[in-house]
Structure 1
Amino acid sequence: MEDFMDVLEKENGEYERLTELSREKRQIIIDGNIPALEEITSREQEITSVLKNLEKKREEVVNDMSIVLSKKPEELTLTNMIAFLNKQPKEQQQLQELKEKLHATLEQMAEINNQNEVLLQHAIEMAEFDLTLFKSMRQAPVTANYDKRANNTGDLLGSSGFDAKQ
């Protein structure tokens, strides 16, 4: 049980680090700092790798516990383990507190990530707007582009979009 709680503590610590990076990422997205976004994404991937290893370790511990308790690994959820520890109130309380701590950390991380997702969506929309605006600046108005036979030509302005010979 100690190994299990130790792994959960480490996982919570990594999720807290990931949450902190998500907070940093929010400001980076707002600032539009692409190099910093790449760097923070790299750091997130490192933490995710550590979390993947901790998850494997936790699964191994749960499998070992399932053999000792003669239960299926799927039955050994945190809630069930807390119930199994009714004769060990100290460990039961520790596991309950750890569960609540993990739950709070993951909720916080999910909330920040949802906010970041909205910010990224807005940034994408702004980039698309800027591209559309830039393209439209290069295009002459439809009513002003006629050939000798009074047909619309649809020609584009010069490549720069500015007339330097005014």
Structure 2
Amino acid sequence: MASLMDELLLTMDGETEQYEKLISLNGEKKDSIIHKKLDVLEAITSQEQAIADSLLELEKRRAELLRHIAAVMGHDGEQITVSWMIDNLANQPVERKQLITAKGKLMEAAGNAQMLNVQTQNLLRQALEMVEFDITLIKSARQAPQTSNYGRDAETTGDLLGKSGFDAKQ
């Protein structure tokens, strides 16, 4: 069981490291969004995807280790968690403390990554709103207003004013 516990702690530390990598990339990501550096943003996104894949593998490994530990402890078939492990290791204070520390670090790192993701999501939303505003502004600048010319049926003809500065014909 000691080797399983050590492997579980290493896996949780690995997850924490991956979340910290995500957190460190977030500053670069914000700068690339603000300064509209799409090539940098694309590179960061591919790095984040690799980290997310790594996190998924580590999470699967953690779940597998918890199943093995449950079998060793005589709780085969039950879905156990790290919190359950902490509660049931009262007679092993060293392992219990290590698990509490690892869980705390992992929870903090995951929470920080989630908070930064929400901030980045809001930043991206604002950037998209600015792009939409710019597109609308450009479209409206290119459209000329309609004239007040009326046809025989007393409705506007829909003619547009000229697009150049002068309407004079030569």
Q: TM-score range by the shorter chain?
A: 0.7 to 0.9
Deviation digits for residues 103-132 of structure 1 (CA, Å, limit 9, x no counterpart) = 111111111111111100100100100110
Distance in 1 (alpha carbons) for counterparts of 2:162 and 2:86: 72
Which runs of no fewer than 5 residues in structure 1 stay unpaired? none
1:30 maps onto 2:18 in alignment = no
State the identity as a percent: 35
TM-score by length of 2: 0.84
Task: State the superposition RMSD in angstroms.
Answer: 2.4
Give the aligned partner of residue 124 of structure 2.
120
1:18 maps onto 2:52 in alignment = no
Distance in 2 (alpha carbons) for counterparts of 1:49 and 1:156: 57
1:151 maps onto 2:164 in alignment = no
Distance in 2 (alpha carbons) for counterparts of 1:97 and 1:86: 15
Contact 1:140–1:154 under 8 Å retained in 2: no
Distance in 2 (alpha carbons) for counterparts of 1:116 and 1:146: 51
Deviation digits for residues 52-76 of structure 1 (CA, Å, limit 9, x no counterpart) = 22122112211211211222442x2
Equivalences for residues 1-166 of structure 1 within 5 A: 1-71=5-75, 72-74=77-79, 76-142=80-146, 144=147, 146=149, 151-153=156-158, 155=160
With over 3 angstroms needed to count, the CA separation of the structure-2 counterparts of 1:9 and 1:123, relative to structure 1, is: same
TM-score by length of 1: 0.86
Match for 1:78: what amino acid? Answer: V
Which runs of no fewer than 5 residues in structure 2 stay unpaired? none
Distance in 1 (alpha carbons) for counterparts of 2:157 and 2:21: 60
Distance in 2 (alpha carbons) for counterparts of 1:106 and 1:47: 13
With over 3 angstroms needed to count, the CA separation of the structure-2 counterparts of 1:35 and 1:157, relative to structure 1, is: farther
Corresponding residue SS for 1:3: helix
Which runs of at least 4 in structure 1 moved beyond 6 Å after TM superposition?
none
Distance in 2 (alpha carbons) for counterparts of 1:73 and 1:156: 76
